[in-house]
Amino acid sequence: MMDKPNYFQSYNKVIGATGEQLAPGAVPPHPVLAPSIAPGVGVGGVTAGVGGVAGVSAADVANIMQNPGFANLVQQALRNQLENQVVAQQLAASQQFQLNGSTAAPLPLLLNPAQTLAPIAIAPEPTVLINGTSITLKKATESAHRQFQSGNYAEAEKTCNIVFQVDPENLPTLLLLSAINFQTKNLEKSMHYSLLAIKVNSQCAEAYSNLGNYYKEKGHLAEALENYKTAVKLKPEFIDAYINLAAALVAGGDLEQAVTAYFTALQINPDLYCVRSDLGNLLKAMGRLEEAKVCYLKAIETQPQFAVAWSNLGCVFNSQGEIWLAIHHFEKAVTLDPNFLDAYVNLGNVLKEARIFDRAVSAYLRALNLAGNHAVVHGNLACVYYEQGLIDLAIDTYKKAIELQPQFPDAYCNLANAYKEKGCIAEAEAMYLKALELCPTHADSQNNLANIKREQGKIDDATRLYLKALEIYPEFAAAHSNLASILQQQGKLQDAILHYKEAIRIAPTFADAYSNMGNTLKEMGDSSAAIACYNRAIQINPAFADAHSNLASIHKDAGNMAEAIQSYSTALKLKPDFPDAFCNLAHCLQIICDWTDYEKRIKKLVAIVEEQVGKKRLPSVHPHHSMLYPLSPATRIAIAAKHASLCFDKVHVQMLGKTPLIHADRFSVQNGQRLRIGYVSSDFGNHPTSHLMQSIPGMHNRENVEVFCYALSVNDGTNFRSKLMAESEHFVDLSAIPCNGKAAEKIAQDGIHILINMNGYTKGARNEIFALRPAPIQVMWLGYPSTSGATFMDYIITDAVTTPLQLACAFTEKLAYMPHTFFIGDHAQMLRHLTEKVVVKDKEATERDSCLIMNTANMDPILAKSEIKEQVLDTEVVSGPKKELLRTEVVLPVLEVPTEPIKQMIMTGQMTMNVMEDMNVQNGLGQSQMHHKAATGEEVPNSVLLTSRAQYQLPDDAIVFCNFNQLYKIDPPTLEMWVKILDNVPKSILWLLRFPYQGEEHIRKFCTERGIESSRIVFSNVAAKEEHVRRGQLADVCLDTPLCNGHTTGMDILWTGTPMVTMPLDSLASRVAASQLCALGVPELVAKSRQEYIKIATRLGNDADHLASMRAKVWMARTTSTLFNVKQYCHDMEDLLKQMWKRYEAGLPVDHITNNTETPFGLCPPT
């Protein structure tokens, strides 16, 4: 489960033609509002005022007004409007006509040429010569007006100048000249004619409004506002002046007064649907969405065909998260106006955010049909192609956007994202740098470039860029999230959480931040909070496959297999090509023995991993799980090596690039100085590893070695921890030093010569400490059954059976052989009450020695009873240097007493009873309730414990084959062998654990489908350590799992004297049981093939004498062989460690240490 950098698609793009941009690094934007046109009220039906306001701020509005695309839209609306409005309307002599101007800049006003000032005296109307024809001034003015309306500004000005020469105080002509020069950008002349008009008639409101337009265009807002206010004061019903005043107020940031101006215009004429829409735009920009919605709805009610209001209403719905309503309104807008460019762009944007990519592409392509050279639409279309995985097409489309608009930093940033997705890192980096060259404050590019630096291991550069992005834009959610991810890598988990929370504050729907924060909380051990984060991420984005996978992972770790399988399955439905989810789902199904499509699943998993290894990607199979699948040794090494490299990377991050503590200078053990050994483990507590080795620190020869134990976990308060703390010369709790660098420094300061890694890649490991090389020699031992794949680990302690030299190619470490077996168990100390046993049976009964058993730490009082008889068993043992077989006898004490009362005690759940005078026995099932520390193995029980097949619903007359491993170690070929054995041995049963319980139904189904009655498969619950081991005495034979042996479980079952049949394969994990059996002196229980495995087990099940002999042999060998002899093991281990050190002192390279030990014939791995 890896955190992904957040590559925001740099959605800072101009939307449609409005020019609005999103602040860098923000959440992907909503579509901006399309402008609308306010209808005029004078003759000609046109307005000189600004037709609409769009955007979110005064600056936005100013940009909008200057955008040519916006002007084009206004002109189109104007043309449509002019066609439908009445051209003739009588005004008072002082009233003036109004002419629509482009919203790129407001147009001035002019009087209707059909209206003139009343003459002072009756006289012949003056005439002028126009194109050789003499016409009256009235006709000339009308002609100029028509020329202006048609856009022929040069001819209109020429005509007006002729009139002006004859009548320089002709008010309509002066206003028309003002309008012509404003439209042709001759602003000073426009102002001149407006002033002349005011000089002619100081009460001419239109002239003041035109003068206001001039000042607004020049950026002199105060003067513009003054003139607009004068206009409305002179003419209170002057709608266009109110609209121009509103636009100026918006530009000046006085939005409330702008709203008032719009409302005033609408009070004069409530049916001005365009003005109503513009007011909605302004209210929306102010965040007053419900009021804006009312405006748009009123505009649509007034004019149902008004496409702009439909589009603007779609924007409000989109802002409110009503995606489907937004889509509906945008689609209505383009239906009403098939040439509505902004509506197509807005529709494309909202479809893209809804991940309806095909329809988004269609909308953008329609927009490009209207404006083929629209760079931003090309950029938006490229973003959709990117989301669809059409990376090459996205790259080409981004390039087109850049070709059309070379100064387009957003497009360069997005093009870089596409290059990175394609794996073209150099090109991506170049494009980010180009974007920053164009815009040094482009926060998205800072963030995305930081992601590349982070992946390159340049943590300092990445951190600097993230911080720069946040300096530019403190509200940059993605940069906060990415910086948090680096802090998490550095072990600064609380700081990481703070930045994740800041990212979520800024962007409450930032699903990635929730998911990544969940990962951090999981690492902190807060599973419930992590689950809440994953669930929130999924609530925000139900299609977020990574969040489903992360949620599945935490359920998997908690053993909630049903929930894990469901979440992984959901992730794969959402993202079929999701290797992590597939491989983890495969592991979940392995755990519960669900072998549906097993071969197909395993084949696909192997193909995925091999492809990932080939591409040097992090494999989706964890090193500890690789032993479960048919992977080559080279692939298993590659998986481990990739995880080892991650340790290097993490160390580099945490140490900020400092050099590891590599020992360049050799040092030697001086005379009289002891070899300093450091054991490092997270399992110093109630854990199988401690159950195996807890006595080793105390049994080392203190004259030769100085023992350090470095705990990676907190004190769990158990006797296991206390024993290790008490018997180690130095016990250091590194869990109190979370910084790996400081932990490594502590070990180096202690002068450790040989540092022993007992975790490998198991839970709680801190291999980063070993990556820093705090000791000259670093060794793998006991806790992890495979290679580390790490260059910082020198040796792996093993033996000739577990790891023959033929398998050395499967390890990056050199092999260091123990003389017997590398495995050890503390059973003789921890469970010494099981060293002896008394078989209980009726006087006339002939039950086996595995049906009813008593154990206690002090057997002498029981053996002194007259009721004790002896059962003598013949067996063979290996003896002498030539390993000759000698016949010998094993004597088992048998207590002959009536067993019916005992069986009754078990059936009723009674905890204790007297089986004979002065001898009280305890029901073995009550151990956990009566003596907690004895139940966990922390103390040796003082009671006489009674263990019976009846306690576990096992028939007394059955041959009981058992396996107490976790069920994930069983695969179909193994269960096929067991089914065959059950078939071969009548009245035999298979005893397994609900480990986990979900596997029971699948195991039963598999067996019954092959003709084995369900009653012959018995499942028991997982028990505490003491009972777990003790009840193994009730089984006749243990059937080991070849895929991955019982390791600690193998030692447990052998300590009870139960024979175990195994078959070694080619992995270390599959050969441990063979090593244990050879060390015990019973290599005949090691099969060389599946057929031999079945044959060995079948004979034990059918041949009672052979079974009794083998059980006697195993029983006796427990105390006579080296398998459980911790003192001997310590001696042998010290010798091996000394050999490692001598090579180091001599300057010799690390090499195999085998002491010429050969693998026994027939136990070499299959070829």
The residues that are catalytic are 624
Residue ranges of alpha helices (H) inside 840-926 are 860-863, 900-908
DSSP 31: P
CA distances from 313 to 13, 263, 318, 706, 732 (A): 21, 19, 9, 79, 67
Q: How far is CA 536 from the centre of its chain?
A: 13
Report how far apart, in Å, the C-alpha atoms of 368 and of each of 67, 359, 656, 684, 837 are: 18, 14, 49, 68, 89
Q: What is the tally of helices (H) and strands (E) in the chain?
A: 49, 21
Interacting residues of 302 by C-beta distance below 8 A, sequence separation 6+: 271, 273, 276
* Angle subtended by helix axes 375-387 and 341-353, to nearest 10: 20
Buried b (16+ CB within 10 A) or exposed e, 145-178: bebbeeeebebbbebbebbbeebeebbbbbbbbb
End-to-end CA distance of the chain: 36
- Quote the tokens at residue 646: 């991650």
Distance CA 39, CA 35 (A): 13
| Interatomic CA distance for residues 383 and 447, integer angstroms | 18
* 48 three-class SS: coil
Q: Which residues contact 1090 (CB under 8 A, 6 or more apart)?
A: 973, 977, 1063
- What residues contact residue 864 under an 8 Å CB cut-off, 6+ apart? none
Rounded Cα distance, 1025 and 923, in Å:
16
Strands (E) in 407-466, as ranges, are none
Residues 59, 832: Cα–Cα separation, whole Å: 84
Element (H, E) at 892: strand 884-896
- Listed residue (277, 385, 269, 285) closest to 329, CA to CA: 277
Question: Strand order of the sheet with strand 868-879?
Answer: 868-879, 884-896, 838-841, 852-855, 945-948, 919-923, 912-916
Q: Give 114's contacts (C-beta < 8 A, 6+ positions apart).
A: 43, 88, 138, 142
Amino acid identity at 397: T
- Cα(996)–Cα(560) distance, integer angstroms: 10
Cis, bond preceding 996 (omega within 30 deg of 0): yes
At which residue do the structure tokens 């079945």 appear?
1094
Beta strands in 377-439, from DSSP E residues, in sequence order? none
The most distant pair of C-alpha atoms in the chain lies apart, rounded to whole Å, by 157
Separation between Cα atoms, residue 1024 and residue 1016, nearest integer Å: 25
> Which amino acid type is present at position 255?
L
Q: Strands (DSSP E) along 189-310, which ranges?
A: none
Tokens of 653: 């991050």
Token pair belonging to 504: 């979520």
Find where tokens 């703390």 sit.
725
Show the tokens assigned to 805.
């030299």
Hey, is 1146 helix, strand or coil? coil
Q: How many CB atoms within 10 Å of residue 492?
A: 18
Question: E-assigned strands of 203-291?
Answer: none
Token look-up 């509505």 returns 340
Instruction: Sort strands 777-780 and 754-757 into parallel, antiparallel or unpaired.
Output: parallel
